[in-house]
Structure 1
């Protein structure tokens, strides 16, 4: 089964999130954070089962842009 990992660099460690089941883990390297996340996901699925929404749909990752301080373009405001 293929799931998603979102990994961000924190102050002291890398933080890894699996958005499909809201599992989070961390590690001192990207690889360690991902390995720890895999273990957390395996334990979650073993204990709780596979969430129904994962069984029937794919996850879509989209990037979007926001403008700080309300600097939205005028065409969106009107």
Structure 2
């Protein structure tokens, strides 16, 4: 039983997350903060190492979670 539940959860998760990930990837070029960060790196002639990308992505996710959490508490 657990195997069937796992497979259906996996399939449904992939069904929603793969298109959302592709959409995010293609629209990132027009994102104003992403374009600003890329412009600064390009103007400085600096390459972004993977750890910097990890730090920026994790920081952005943390900020989104904090803002979302605070908005939920404000509506209670």
Normalising to structure 1: TM-score of the pair?
0.31
The structure with higher relative contact order (CA 8 Å, sep 6+) is: 1
Which structure's residues are more often strand, by fraction? 1
Which structure's residues are more often helix, by fraction? 2
